[in-house]
Amino acid sequence: MKITDVRIHKLNTVGKMKAVASVTFDNEFVVHDIKIIEGKKGTFIAMPSRRMGEGDFRDIAHPLTTEMRNRMKEAIFEAYEKTENETESPSETDEDTFTE
């Protein structure tokens, strides 16, 4: 499965969550609401999840292999860093795209 598109929506809020990503696979399947979070040990991604019961969360969608998780993480971080390094003009939106 090839990652064909990554879209980053930066959040203009104070807090640990810095952005939300959408990842498209093979131009046929997309996963939305992948969170980019700044933690104590560095930046990481959190897959979309749903509250189950009292306080427990369960991933709605997630990679089954470490290899796929690493490919997703690398593609998301590459697109996120690109948006962080660019200076936006007033006419640009806060959503950027990375396409392989």
Interval 56-78: pLDDT, tens: 889 999 999 999 999 999 999 99
Phi, psi of 89 (to 5 degrees): -90, 160
pLDDT at residue 86 tops 80: no
pTM surpassing 0.85? no
pLDDT for 83 equals: 86
Are 31 and 45 spatial neighbours (Cβ–Cβ below 8 Å)? no
Look at the block and give the residue holding tokens 């971080």: 77
Nearest CA-CA partner of 47 in 83, 68, 11? 68
Phi, psi of 78 (to 5 degrees): -60, -45
Look at the block and give the residue holding tokens 């509250």: 51
Look at the block and give the residue holding tokens 């997309």: 30
